[in-house]
Chain A
Amino acid sequence: MNLDLRVISKCIRCGNCRAVCPVFEEEGWESANTRGRIMIIKSLANGHNQSPEVLESLNACTTCGLCIENCPAGINPPDLVEVARRELASLGIMTEVQVELHRNILGAGNTFGERLDRLAWLHDRRVLKKKADYIYFAGCLASFRNPEISSKAFEILSRFGATVLQNEQCCGSPLIRTGFDASPLIEHNLREIDRVGAGAIITGCAGCYTTLKNDYPSQIDIISISEFLADHLQEMELRRLNLQVTYHDPCHLGRMNKIYEKPRQLIEAICSFEEMVTNRKDARCCGGGGGVRAGYKDLSLRLARRRLDDIPQGVDCIITSCPLCLRNLSDVSNDKKVMDIVELVALSME
């Protein structure tokens, strides 16, 4: 297997990751912990145990990156996990869920295998421009599962001259996270982006953000919607809302790309804000990422419930800036509304 033993062996098995791995906290087995995963990856690199059994460990990682923050040796375990998943997938060692995801995305251009119009949320296609400075990249979840959010996001961004891609496809994040090659999607989206000639892409999805930012060629600016809106506060007519909210840092926006302040600036411009118990680089994962919601829904929702324990008292709702976090937290939140940051801005603009 093409796994770099030098990188893997930097892990000295100190176990610092044990203190923070959210999956381990739920499951309790060493194989559900970052250290165990690295030991399994090392065994794979040494040619041992290349069996589907290892997927139970490797595929249950949300790639949240809490372990990166806590690793004294400076290892990036989610990267190792993704490489191992890719190597295993290349040998045909993968779960049914991975197979289905792969089929859906490469067959229909979206995570769900939907054959419906991806731009169905767009009420009037005449607003689309052939050329624009900004592209709003909606992503699969917002396009097919949260069309009202894409619609609101675009309504706001179109005031700043944004357009959307005529034929946007999945950014490739779910494929990359679960061990597949996403280059056909990347090449397709790049052609679409080139056609518009925009200088920047704005996205409201943390998964799309990190993929566009880190897996696409770097000649184009990638901006998260909360960054963009926070930078244009003066140009929006926001009214103050009588709400007390908290903010859930999506792992792939916060820890992976260090976007912590702008979402908070935006929220504080609209309503009262209080931090969750763990926040910023220490923010607990919602449990949805890395293919865990798709592959291990029960585990994913248990992780989401743990995240709700971090909500401070007295808040009316939880704001986040990722449709996957939104879905996972919403699924387990009984008494607190979970809202996308775009919805909060739209509410303030009403």
Chain B
Amino acid sequence: MKQISNMRELLDRYWDGETTLEEERMLKVYFSDDDIPEEYRQEARWFRILQSEQAVKSPGARRVPMLSARKFGWYGMVAAAAALLLTAGVWWYTDLLKFTEPPVAARPLHPENDEQVKPPPSVADLAARPEEHQKIAKKPAQKTQKRPLPAVETNIQPALAEDTYADAEQALVEIKAALALVSSKINKSKQTLEKGLQEVDNVEILLKRSM
């Protein structure tokens, strides 16, 4: 056992709170021995208590949520991104199909009713025929709202039929190429993510073994 000169003086300084960390460590080492003089009985008891307190360990992680939370976070982000892309793709595709369908006005809406639907009068027409202008202006607004709109009126939007591509087939090919690119990117990200998660799992296994 390593002897410490002026032990009593050192212990007095310890109890007064005047020792350094180094001196306190030295005392702990000294009193970890079983063969301690009787005069230091109380101190020996105290330092053994400190030793046993230092040995107290956490019962161990009951769960490791920080790993699974992060894992599910990544999965969630990838799933959300994929869902968003899929939704955007579907929306884009269906929207394109809608505009590439033949114009509604070109098809007979009501075959049994052969009435020709007149296009709305232009401003020039109304200027040339002021009586018709007044007639339209006098129509009560409420009545106009109640009247069901004929389906053919959708044909009034010629601008909507115009898009980036004039040819629907070409647009479809372009969409497929874009989606294939996005898909390849997602697959690549997924592979990287899986590799990273595998690494985390390995570390988790090591940690569980070490506890």
A and B from one complex: no
| Interface, chain B (partner A; CB < 8 A) | none
